[in-house]
Structure 1
Amino acid sequence: MAEASSEAQRIGEVIRRARMVQRRSQKDVAAALGYHQSKVSRLESGRGAEDVRVLRAVARELGIDPYRLGLAAATEACGPDHGAEGMHRRAFLAAGAAVLVPAADTVTTHAELVRALLPGPPPAAASGALTREALRLRLGAARRLFYTCDYTTLERTLPVLITDLRHAAEGAGGVADLSPMLATAYQTATSLLLKQHDQGSAWLAAGRAMAEAERSGTPQVLASSVRVQTHVLARGKHTVQAVELVRHTATQLTGSYDRRSPEYLAALGLMLLRGVTAASGEGDRAATEAFLSEAKEVARYVSADRPDAWANFDATNVALHEVSALLAFGDAGPALRAAHPLMRRRIPVPERRAALWLEAARAYSRQGRLAEGYRALRIAETCAAQDVRRPAVRTLVADMVARDRGRTLPGLHQFSRRLGVPA
């Protein structure tokens, strides 16, 4: 039993560290799970860790690899049809032995990413070969991880990539030569940190991205860095500044689209779309329409979606942002009418597919069409499961469940519990 107690304490420490890294209180986590604060307190002190159902909910809420809480072994022991109020002792102890096997530590990995963003001399390079071509290929792979919503792998990849890029830039004696790639790596880190709701670290990453963009002197790199800076500003409720930043940058970069490279057009288009999001969130219809109009013009010169680092911009993505803007202004009916053609269109980027169906779910919910909203949520989950667990989506689900007073949609309530949404 001493072994079981030790394992319970280890699990409690994993939960505590994950919560602290996200700067969340026990009360906040408990409220998100629908429990009293004492439940989280007991878990972190090594008590109650035999309840698999609770551990699964905690793992989802804090983004902890279930394997680190002994859940993989528990699933095998209990089987799929045992809702599992308890964990077999043998599986519980086996999970303790599993920590001896090198595995991704979510808390440590996040800390490593934040350290890679800090100023000062970079840590020792992790890779031997730091050729420009090798780094370019690794950067492209990192961008694809973001588009396919493999955030766990991306978080492990970025610290090493950023460190190697910094070493290569310093060793080459010409930082400007690698500044575009460094800026892109920092932009990717910003987007990931915003997905993780780490606003403070996202500010840090966005600042590094902007500095490298200015050092590079490359217009498309500047546009991309402005895009993530705008995202951080808007997330921090500085929407007026976000809109002005996009407007100011656009006046310098728009025009002559027939003579621009695909990379330039994509970076500019994505920046304008970020302006659409910021302006509609502020309720500024004039700025929203201006940014949308310019983005549609840019999209005329972009051939099609491509599975590379710039695959996120084309006419389809402009249409997706128009749907979001209509919803931001409270126009659920027009938003659904704009979304319906997109539902039959091929959207190769999983994050964008999920965004479409999440916006559809929001629109259906506002019209009281809960069954259709639930169906849209399930489709979004098949596109990008991690995106469906964001706080904004959880709030939507909680609202839909509260309005289904007659419990006519048992699947919706099960879905809500699976997301850990408070009852």
Structure 2
Amino acid sequence: MAQMAEAQSEARRIGEVIRQARVLQRRSQKDVAAALGYHQSKVSRLESGRGTQDVRMLREVAQVLDIPPHRLGLAAASNASPSDPETEDMHRRTFLAAGITALAAQPSLAAPHHDLVQVLLPGTTPVATGQVLGINELRDRTRTARRLFCTCDYTELERTLPSLIADLRRATDGSSGSADASALLATAYQTSVSLLLKRADQGNAWLAAGRAMAEAERSGDPVALAASVRVHAHVLVREKHTAQAVNIIRHTADQLTGSYDQRSPRYLAAVGLLLLRGATAASRNGDRDTTEDFLTEAREVARYVTFDRPDAWANFSPTNVALHQVSAAVSFGDAGIALKTARPLMRRHIPVPERRAALWVEAARAYNQQGRLADGYQALRIAESCAAQDIRRPAVRELVADMAARDRRRTLPALHHFSRQLGVPA
């Protein structure tokens, strides 16, 4: 039973690889199907993880979308010919078995994390609350989940998301499955992506991102689509596919930017956050001009957003634009510029704990770049006071490990004690 679930997960992963390749090439399912000589439904089934056992079909898809065969569990062309289905099938079985073994070898997940991953898997029937909930109640619960993320209560969020997703899936599967329910489900999946990335679980974040994109497309809501593209790009950046992330954000933003005085706050927040993700991707790609282009457009959007509060859908504001300027400067190694930009923000009230913590973590990175370890340590302790759980995520623990390693003479005992508290190896 467990192996069947893992095989389904692998099929879903292959489907997501196909979908990502198609989206990055800006091709429709109909276009790809025509190139393959099949009906569109065939491509749709593949992207949902069904029919991936058809090796010949996968080879054709790999060729049309220029996907490296190994990413679809196929042998390289030099090792097995498409006319040798027995060899191909043997390789495929080995690939699936290896994937299952690798998953089985991973440390056991905490129960809430396990429940979240299970509800993301294809073919599973999530356990709902047992009540038929109205759209307004589902919307309130989705807002609560977003608020838990903004306040960095990741433990409670892990407990909340599985049942929320289950109830939303039931709402979308019903005879009256509405576009509103699909948009809310997309938001729940987007929140799952953000949480999983905080936990450095890129593999399952890919799965959640694919789910989010599918529900956003189903809803027909441009705001839900923009948010799904944003989290998709976030995963791409984490996997160091920064150029692809920039391209997909630019393509989406081109269709959504402009006429800001006529847009709702929810629309502006989604577009603004998409642009800020573009700035992050471009800065990680070392592209200063594109980073500034995204930040400039984000500032323009921020002119029409006057609030600074944990919003139900997003937390875009002029303050968040400035925070991303700090982050970009750190990415470029411009520690002095980063700290100069950060100082006014340190004196400003930032109501979202996750954003407050982000400011001080970026300041710690800048201080570390300058070799100012004592200042960096103090910045991290302030970040901890803003959001204790956020400081315990892997990315921050890596920063602490680096700072502790640089203090070879152990002149900062408090830093090393802090490192031990976080469970960072000496």
Give the TM-score of the pair, scaled to structure 2: 0.73
TM-superposed CA distance for 1:216, in Å, is 1.3
Match of 1:333 among 333, 336, 346: 336
Give a deviation string over 1:175-202, Cα, whole Å, max 9, x none: 4241110110110111111111111111
The range that moved more, 244-253 or 216-225, is 216-225
* CA distance in 2 between partners of 1:131 and 1:360 (Å): 44
Give the alignment of 1:146-165 within 5 angstroms: 146-165=149-168
Residue 148 of structure 2 is aligned to residue 145 of structure 1: yes
Give the one of 203, 219, 224 matched to 2:227.
Answer: 224
AA matched with 1:330: G
| 2:230 partner letter | R
> What's 1:265 paired with?
268
Which residue pairs with 2:325 in the alignment? 322
Indicate the residue corresponding to 1:285 in structure 2: 288
Residue 288 of structure 1, CA deviation: 0.5
Q: Which residue pairs with 1:295 in the alignment?
A: 298
> Which of 392-401 and 233-242 deviates more?
392-401
- Equivalent position of 1:110 in the other structure: 113
In 2, the alpha carbon distance for the partners of 1:409 and 1:263 equals: 46
Q: Is contact 1:239–1:282 with CA below 8 Å preserved after alignment?
A: yes
**Counterpart-to-counterpart distance in 2, 1:278 and 1:205:** 20
Q: What is the rounded CA distance, in whole Å, between the counterparts of 2:105 and 2:359 in structure 1?
A: 30
Residue 385 of structure 1: CA displacement?
1.6
Cα offset for 1:395?
Answer: 2.3
Letter in 2 for 1:333: G
- SS of corresponding position for 1:301: coil
SS of equivalent to 2:261 = helix
**Identity, % of aligned positions:** 70
In 2: Cα distance, 1:183 partner to 1:394 partner: 30
What are the equivalent positions in structure 2 for 1:198-217 lying under 5 Å apart?
198-217=201-220
For the residues of structure 2 that align with 1:410 and 1:307, how far apart are their CA atoms? 37
In 2, are the aligned partners of 1:311 and 1:349 still within 8 Å (CA)? no
Structure 2 residues without counterparts, runs of 5 or longer? 1-101
Is contact 2:357-2:386 (8 Å) kept?
Answer: yes
Are 1:380 and 1:388, in contact at CA under 8 Å, matched by a contact in 2? yes
Q: Is residue 2:316 matched to residue 1:313?
A: yes
2:172 aligns with: 169
Q: Which residue of the partner structure matches residue 364 of structure 2?
A: 361
Q: What's the Cα RMSD here?
A: 1.8
SS at match of 1:307: coil
Displacement of 1:215: 1.3
Whether 2:207 is the aligned partner of 1:243: answer: no
Letter of the structure 2 residue corresponding to residue 222 of structure 1:
L
Shift of 1:393: 1.9
Letter in 2 for 1:351: E
Are 1:136 and 2:117 an aligned pair? no
Shift of 1:22: 9.8
Instruction: Name the structure 2 match of 1:182.
Output: 185
Partner of 2:415: 412
In 2, are the aligned partners of 1:305 and 1:312 still within 8 Å (CA)?
yes
C-alpha distance in 2 between matches for 1:288 and 1:24: 37
Determine the C-alpha separation between the residues in 2 that align with 1:22 and 1:386: 27
Alignment size in residue pairs:
325
- Residues 198 and 394, structure 2, Cα contact 8 Å, conserved in 1: no
Letter in 2 for 1:355: A
Question: In the superposition, relative to structure 1, how do residues 182 and 170 fare at CA in structure 2: closer, same or farther (>3 Å)?
Answer: same
The AA in structure 2 aligned to 1:387 is D
Corresponding residue for 1:399? 402
State the Cα distance separating 1:23 from its structure 2 match.
6.1
Question: Which amino acid in structure 1 is aligned with residue 149 of structure 2?
Answer: F
Aligned to 1:33: none
Are the equivalent residues in 2 in contact too, given 1:122–1:167 (CA < 8 A)?
A: no
Supply the AA of the counterpart residue of 1:198.
D
Out of 223-232 and 195-204, give the one that drifted further.
195-204
Contact 2:199–2:394 under 8 Å retained in 1 = no
* Greater relative CO, 1 or 2 (CA 8 Å, sep 6+): 1
Q: Is the 8 A contact 2:118 2:124 kept in 1?
A: no
Residues 397 and 108 of structure 1, relative CA distance in 2, 3 Å threshold: closer
Per-residue deviation, 1:134: 0.9
Whether the aligned pair in 1 keeps the contact of 2:148 and 2:157 (CA below 8 Å) is yes
Structure 1, residues 357-398: CA drift from partner, whole Å, max 9, x if none?
011111111112111111001001111122212232222222
What does residue 377 of structure 2 align with? 374
Answer whether contact 1:323 1:359 (CA < 8 A) is retained. Answer: yes
